[in-house]
Amino acid sequence: MAKEATALETGLAIIYGTFVKYADSGDGGDPTTINKKELSKMITEQLPLLDEEGMAKTLMKELDEDEDGTMDFMEYCGLITGLSMILHMVISDQLPK
Amino acid sequence: MAKEATALETGLAIIYGTFVKYADSGDGGDPTTINKKELSKMITEQLPLLDEEGMAKTLMKELDEDEDGTMDFMEYCGLITGLSMILHMVISDQLPK
């Protein structure tokens, strides 16, 4: 019987799976990168707290290091790191000192 | 009624929660960083595929950028990015060309 995935393996699989879901959205674009339309959809569906006018444009500008107008997996990991840091700061601020 | 967390929010929460679980392990060390013993425990419990002699030492050496002997949250995000990249390469290799 296959061993059950650990919490961290599950978290990594979700992070990876979310990238694939939006990169390979079937809109005819490159299935290995997230374009601005796909990023906008991901923000609306997955990151409602960030869902505001122009957020996709802002994030793409911030994270699209090779400036090809799309987000590859490495650039997406930059987004995940940024989001994790925000989560870390928000929660650390709320912890009793 | 509170909105249900999205998949990506859940993934981020698991990634963050795993860091807190091992950093704040109650072994008297700094609850905001992962030391080598805590990292070794995390690898054994969360990353069985990487669980081999000396892995904690190797990962700490690779990721402990400020060389203080512990892994802070930013350095942990480096581990998550590295693991995600490995997952990406393994899965991409297995996809039909």
- In the prediction, which pLDDT does A28 show? 83
Whether A37 shows a pLDDT value over 90: the answer reads yes
ipTM for the complex? 0.88
Structural domains present in chain B: 20-83 (1.10.238.10)
| DSSP secondary structure of B11-66 | HHHHHHHHHHHHHT-SSSS-TTSB-HHHHHHHHHHH-GGG--TTHHHHHHHHH-TT
Tens-digit pLDDT profile for residues A62-95: 999 999 999 999 999 999 999 999 888 888 776 6
Task: Determine whether the interchain pair B9/A46 forms a contact, defined as Cβ–Cβ distance below 8 Å.
Answer: yes
- In the prediction, which pLDDT does A7 show? 96
- Percentage of residues in chain A with pLDDT exceeding 70? 94
List, as own/partner pairs, every contact residues A39-43 make where C-beta atoms lie below 8 angstroms and the sequence separation is at least 24, other chains included.
Answer: A39/A71, A42/A18, A42/B8
Which residues of chain A does B91 touch, with a Cβ-Cβ cutoff of 8 Å?
16
Whether A16 shows a pLDDT value over 90: the answer reads yes
- In the prediction, which pLDDT does A94 show? 65
| Phi and psi torsions of A15, nearest 5° | -60, -45
* Residue B56 CA from chain centroid, whole number: 11
Task: Determine whether the interchain pair A11/B3 forms a contact, defined as Cβ–Cβ distance below 8 Å.
Answer: no
- Which residues in chain B show pLDDT less than 70? 1-2, 94-97
Task: Determine whether the interchain pair A14/B9 forms a contact, defined as Cβ–Cβ distance below 8 Å.
Answer: no
The mean pLDDT of A39-60, rounded to a whole number, is 93
- In the prediction, which pLDDT does A96 show? 57
Residue type for position A63? L
Residue type for position B41? K
- Percentage of residues in chain A with pLDDT exceeding 90? 72
The C-alpha R_g of chain A, in whole angstroms, comes to 15
The C-alpha R_g of chain B, in whole angstroms, comes to 15
